[in-house]
Amino acid sequence: MTDKCRKLLPRIHEWLEGDADEETTILVQWHLRDCIYCQQIVSEWQFVMEEIRFVLPTPPPEGFEGRLKQRMSKPQILSWCELMISWALTSAGVATAVFWFGSSLASVFWSLSQWVLGAINWSTLLTVWLQQFLELVNRWV
Amino acid sequence: MDDNALVRCCLNGCGWAFDELVKRYRDRVYGIALHLLGDCDLAEDLAQEAFLRAFQKLGLFDATKGSFSVWLMALTTRLCLNALKKRSLERRLFTEQEDVEVTESNDGACSFEEWLAEERRVLIRNLLLTLPPIQRAALLLRYGEDMSIHDIAQALQVPVGTVKVWLFRGRETLRRKLKEVGLLD
């Protein structure tokens, strides 16, 4: 194998892939005409390609389609990632709802209490309480 | 009926159309999975997973961007490579694969030629398994599936130049190994 061959190997590969430009094609074809070593490499590479094509299709074990159908009819189990995302989204939704509802409820109670406190006539209330207390004392005495 | 018509049929709710697609591609999908993972059970599991995902994502398949076979093989390859990454199976391969292959090659009575072809198949399969998974994937897709380098680059999400380098190295390594075991003169 000469230095020229070594340098040309990537180009020969490119040519074999059908990916070479015109210049490379001419260069490789010219070289292959005389170089027995590179001719052999090319035929060996072609052999490798054919072998891979030969071994690839492999029939799956018997019952493959039946098992696939069974699997397709089953409800899908969520992956960990999907489970975490769904949990996070649900928790965020619940938290938002609780916060929103809670704050609205608090504001309702606050305004209600303000309204009640504002509506009470404290002097009348005190007079009524005092009268009731005196009545009780009178009855007791 | 071509693949695209079957995909359209399937999207319209015809169950038989997907069955037909499975029948057409089961050997190739299982073959890719087996040669990438080197484990029969895992390969079947992953092949089924690939079909399942394909069925679920069929709506995403765009016939203008490439053929169904390229799309399916890319999906299968990515699934297998992810599985390899996850389980770091590489070490297990070499110990378990030989046993699996021996049982595969011995079953049933067959002629001498068939036996020889099967032995050759097993030998090449085992030699392929000694390559790095990503190189193996590139070789299988390019020479086994006739996918273009551009499609492989898209499937493996790497630049075109990287795929070319993997192919060159993978093919050269395999050639040397075939020579070592005497399959090449």
pLDDT in tens, chain B (185 residues): 788 888 888 888 887 888 899 999 999 999 999 988 888 888 999 999 999 999 888 888 888 888 898 899 999 999 998 888 887 655 555 555 544 444 454 455 567 777 877 788 888 888 888 899 889 999 999 998 888 999 999 888 899 999 999 999 999 898 888 888 877 76
A13/B167 touch (CB, cutoff 8 Å), yes or no: yes
Within chain B, how many helices (H) and strands (E) appear? 9, 0
Contact B27, A57 (CB under 8 A): yes
A60/B44 touch (CB, cutoff 8 Å), yes or no: yes
Segment A131-139 mean pLDDT: 87
ipTM of this complex prediction, to 2 decimal places:
0.76
Distances (CA, A) of A85 to A47, A79, A82: 50, 10, 5
Terminal-residue alpha carbon distance, chain A = 132
> Mind listing the pLDDT tens digit for each residue in A54-101?
888 888 888 898 888 888 887 655 667 777 888 899 999 999 888 888
**Residue-range domains of chain B with CATH:** 1-88 (1.10.1740.10)
Question: Given this model, what pLDDT does residue B14 score?
Answer: 82
Return the HEC string of chain A.
Answer: CCHHHHHHHHHHHHHHCCCCCHHHHHHHHHHHHHCHHHHHHHHHHHHHHHHHHHHCCCCCCCCHHHHHHHHHHCCCCCCHHHHHHHHHHHHHHHHHHHHHHHHHHHHHHHHHHHHHHHHCCHHHHHHHHHHHHHHHHHHHC
Tell me chain B's radius of gyration from C-alpha atoms.
17
A52/B139 touch (CB, cutoff 8 Å), yes or no: yes
- Domain residue spans of chain A: 3-55, 91-141
Q: How many CB pairs under 8 A join A and B?
A: 97
| Spatial CB neighbours of A44, under 8 Å, sequence gap ≥ 6 | B175, B178, B179, B184
% of chain A at pLDDT higher than 70:
96
